[in-house]
Chain A
Amino acid sequence: MQKKHLSVLIICLALGALFAIVQVGISNGMISGYWVTNLFLMGINIILAASLNLINGFTGEFSLGHAGFMAVGAYAGGVITTNLGLPFPLAIVVGMLAAAVAGVLVGLPTLRLRGDYLAIATLGFGEIVRVVLMNIDYVGGASGLKDIPDVVNWPIIFVSVVLSLLLIKNFVRSSHGRACLAVRENDLAAQMMGVNITYYKVLAFVVGAALAGLAGVLYAHYYTIIQPKEFSFLLTFDVLVMVMVGGLGSLTGSVVGAVLLTTASAFLQAIPELRMVIYALLLIISAIFRPQGLLGEKEVTLRTFQKLGGVFNATSGSKQTQ
C-alpha cells in the first residue's frame, strides 16, 4: 500500500513539473507559437485517442465515428458560447452531453452489427453529421462557425487531459471496465457471466463519445473557427493510427501514440502527403505484424522506467568496470 502511495506521489510530482515547465515556457516565449499550437493539439489528440481506445481497444467495438462525436461536441459547445453568449464551462458540459447523446443514438441501433459492419455504419454516422452541419445556417453552414471565444489556454488543456485520462483509467480498472473487456474477449461467455453486453457496448460508446465531445469543445475554443469539412473521416483515421501505434487496450499507449504522431506531423507539416503515406504504412505494418498495436497492450508504468533505468545503470556500470 505504501509503495502505491509513493508511485502516486511520483506521478503527481512529474505532472506538476511538466505543467510548470510548459507554462513558464509559454509565458516567456521560449516555446514558439508553432509548437504551442502543436502542444495543444497533442492534448486534444490524447483525449481523442484514449477515448477511441476505450471503444475499439477495451470493448472491442470497431468504431470509425469519432470525428462525428467530436464535431457534435465542437458545434454544441460553440453554439453555447458563440450564438448564445453563455460561459465556457457550460459549453463543456453541453458539448459532452450532446456527444454522449449522439453516442447512445449511434450505439443503440448499430451495436448488434458485427465488427466491420459497425465500422462502416459509424463512419456513415460521421459523414451524416458532417453533411447535416453543412446544411444548418445557424452554425454557419459549409463556411463554418466563426468568432468562437478564444478561451482555451494551457491550464485548461492540461487539466482536461489529466482528468480525462484519470476517468478512463478509473473506469477501465473497475468492475465495469472488466465487463467491457469481457465483451471484447467473448461476448457469448460474457452474457453467461451476467454481463449485459448491450448496456456495456452502449456505455463504452457514450463515455468515448462524451470525451470526444470534450476534445471537440476544446478544439473549437482554441482555433475559434470550425468547419464541417475538418471533421471528415480522415480525422478519425488519424486518431485510429494513434490508437494502433500505441496499442489497442493500452491507455498509456494511446498517450504515447498521440504524442509521437502529433510531433511527427508537426515536423511533416510542409509535406502533408508524406505524412499520410507514413500513417498508411504504420496502419498496414501494425495490422500485419502487431494486430494488438505496435506497442502491444502493455501499459507504461513507473516500473517500465525502473527497468529502463536498470538497463541504463547496467550498461553504464559495465562501462565503468571496463
Chain B
Amino acid sequence: MPLLEVSKLSKSFGGLVALNNFNLDVEEGELVGLIGPNGAGKTTVFNLLTGLYKPTGGTIVFDGRNLRGRHPHQITKMGMARTFQNIRLFGNLSVLDNVKIAYQVVVNYGLIPAFLRVPPFYRREENIEKSSLKLLEIFDLKKHAQEKAKNLPYGEQRRLEVTRALATNPKLLLLDEPAAGMNPQETQDLLALIKWVRNEFKLTIILIEHDMSLVMGLCERVLVLDYGSLIAEGTPQEIQQNPKVIEAYLGDEEVAAWE
C-alpha cells in the first residue's frame, strides 16, 4: 500500500482552478519531484496535503487514513512535515526553541505539570532539550542554539527549517523549493544533505523545485504540473525528452536551466 494516495484532487479559488484532478501515489521511501512553471499549482498541492486548504474535490489518503476534515496540526502529528518556499521560522525565538516546538509533537506533557512543575515536567523538558540539541548537532547548528533564528545567515535558516520539520518525526517530508536563493555551492551541499537525511531518517520525500539540476540529480520520479493539471510523469530522463513539458516551459526562464 502506498504511503500517500491522492486521487482526483481539485482546488479552485472563486472561478480560478488552481488544481484540477490531480492524482499521485507515493510509495514508502520514494523521492518524488514536482516541477512546473510559476503558478502551475505546485504549492497548492502542498497546502492541500498539509490541510491548510480544504480541497474542492478529491481525496487524500495518508498512511492508510483519509485526511478529509483533519486540521493541519493533526496531519503533522500523523507524520507529515513541510518546509516553506519563503522561510517561515519563529524569527524572534532561539534556534533551539524553534526545534523544541516541533519536537513537542513527539514528547509533551499536560497543563498541570506545566503550571505546577510536578514530575513529568522536568523529565520531559530534559528529553525535549536533549533530543533537540542532538538534532541541531547533526545539522551543524548546535553552535547557534541560543541565537535568534532570524539572525542566522540565509543558508542556515534554510537548514534550520529542514531540521525543524524533521523534529516532528515525519514519515513524509514536503520540501517547497529548498534551494531557492542559494548559490550553486550551497545547492550542492543541500543536495548531499537531502540524500543523507533521506537514508538516515528513512524518509519519503516530495520536492518542489525550480532548480533542474537538483531535481534531476535527486529524484527517481518527476511530475510536471501546468495550469493546475498534471501534464507528464516519469523518470528525469523521460521528462527531459517529453515534448509537452518542453512546450510548457517554452518561453519561460526555466528553459535555460534545461541546458
Asked if the two chains touch in their complex, CB atoms less than 8 Å apart, one says yes
Chain A residues within 8 Å of B, Cβ to Cβ: 167, 170-171, 174-179, 181-182, 185-186, 188-197, 203, 297
Given known contacts A181-B93, A181-B97, A193 and B102 CB-to-CB distance under 8 angstroms: yes
- Residue A175 contacts which of B52, B92, B100 (CB distance < 8 angstroms)? B100
> Which of A175, A182, A196, A203 gathers the greatest number of chain B CB atoms within 10 Å?
A175
> Is B6 in contact with chain A by the CB < 8 A criterion?
no
Nearest-CB residue, chain B, relative to A174: B114
A189 touching B89 in the complex, CB below 8 Å, given contacts A170-B116, A174-B121, A181-B97? yes
Which of the 9-residue segments B61-69, B71-79, B192-200, B201-209 touches chain A?
B71-79
B contacts with A, residue count (CB < 8 A): 38
Contact with A along B70-90 (1 / 0, CB 8 A): 011100110001101000111
Distance to closest chain B CB from A54 (angstroms): 12
Interface centre among B76, B104, B109, B111 (most CB of A within 10 A): B104
Question: What is the distance, in angstroms, from A164's C-beta to the closest C-beta of chain B?
Answer: 11
9 residue pairs from A and B, CB less than 8 Å apart: A175-B108, A178-B104, A182-B90, A188-B88, A191-B76, A192-B82, A193-B105, A195-B101, A197-B73
B101 touches A170 (CB 8 A): no
Inside 8 A of B114's CB, which chain A residues have their CB?
Answer: 170-171, 174-177
Additional pairs, 19, CB under 8 Å, beyond known A185-B90, A192-B72: A174-B121, A175-B101, A175-B109, A177-B114, A178-B93, A178-B101, A181-B90, A182-B101, A185-B92, A185-B93, A188-B52, A189-B84, A191-B71, A192-B76, A194-B77, A194-B102, A195-B73, A196-B71, A196-B73
3 closest A-B pairs by CB:
A174-B114, A185-B90, A194-B105
Q: Of A175, A182, A196, which one neighbours B125 at CB under 8 angstroms?
A: A175
Chain B positions within 8 Å of A, measured between CB atoms, are: 50, 52, 71-73, 76-77, 81-82, 84, 88-93, 97, 100-102, 104-105, 108-109, 111, 113-117, 121, 124-125, 128, 164-165, 167-168
What's the dominant secondary structure at chain A's contact region? helix
- Is B117 touching A191 in the complex (CB atoms < 8 A)? no
B91 to chain A, nearest CB (A): 6
Q: Are B73 and A186 touching (Cβ within 8 A)?
A: no
Residues on A with C-beta less than 8 A from B92 are: 185, 297
B121 in contact with A190 (CB, 8 Å): no
Docked pose: A182 CA to B91 CA in angstroms = 9
Closest Cβ–Cβ distance, residue A142 to chain B (whole Å): 38
Query: How many A-B contacts if CB must be within 8 Å?
Result: 93
Distance of A280 Cα from B16 Cα, bound (Å): 47
In the bound complex, do residue A185 and residue B117 qualify as a contact, i.e. CB atoms below 8 Å apart? no
> In the complex, what residues of B have CB within 8 A of residue A194's CB?
73, 76-77, 102, 104-105, 168
A178 and B73 form a contact (CB under 8 A):
no
Complex Cα–Cα for A193 and B80 (A) = 10
- Of chain B, the residue at the smallest CB distance from A185 is B90
Chain A: minimal CB distance from B243 (Å): 37
Q: A182 contacts which chain B residues (CB < 8 A)?
A: 90, 93, 101
Q: Which of A167, A170, A189 has most B Cβ within 10 Å? A: A189
Question: Chain B residue with minimal CB distance to A292?
Answer: B92
Closest-CB distance, B132 to chain A (whole angstroms): 11
For B73, B109, B167, which residue has the most chain A Cβ atoms within 10 angstroms?
B73
- The answer for the CA separation of A177 and B125 in the assembled complex, in Å, is 12
Q: In the complex the two chains form, what is the Cα distance from A197 to B73 in whole Å?
A: 8
Considering the chains assembled together, what is the distance between the CA atoms of A303 and B247 in angstroms? 65
Cβ B101 vs Cβ A192 within 8 A: no
Q: Which of B102, B117, B165 counts the most A-chain CB atoms under 10 A from its CB? A: B102
- Which chain B positions have C-beta within 8 A of A179? 101, 104
Q: Are A191 and B121 interface neighbours, CB within 8 A?
A: no
Q: Report the bound CA distance from A257 to B21 in whole Å.
A: 57
Q: How many Å from the CB of B112 to the closest CB on chain A?
A: 11
A192 to B77, CA, bound (A): 9
Contacts of B77 in A (CB 8 A): 194
A189 contact set on B, CB distance < 8 A: 84, 88-90
Q: What is the bound-complex CA distance between A278 and B121, given in angstroms?
A: 44
Give the residues in chain A near B117, CB-CB below 8 Å. Answer: 170
Which residue in chain B gives the minimum CB-CB distance to A196? B73
Q: Known: A181-B93, A182-B93, A196-B71. Contact between A190 and B101, CB under 8 A?
A: yes
- Of chain A, the residue at the smallest CB distance from B105 is A194
In the complex, what's the smallest C-beta–C-beta distance from B97 to chain A, in angstroms? 6
With a cutoff of 8 Å between Cβ atoms, the chain A residues found around residue B116 in the complex are 170
Measured CA separation A93–B113 after assembly (Å):
20
A175 to B113, CA, bound (A): 10
A305 CB to closest chain B CB (Å) equals 21
Residues of B within 8 A of A196 (CB): 71, 73
**For B88, what are the chain A residues with a Cβ–Cβ distance below 8 Å?**
186, 188-189, 192
Residues on A with beta carbons closer than 8 Å to the beta carbon of B105? 193-194
The complex places the Cα of A195 from the Cα of B105 at a distance, in Å, of 8
Contacts of A181 in B (CB 8 A): 90, 93, 97, 101
Complex Cα spacing A181 to B94, Å: 11
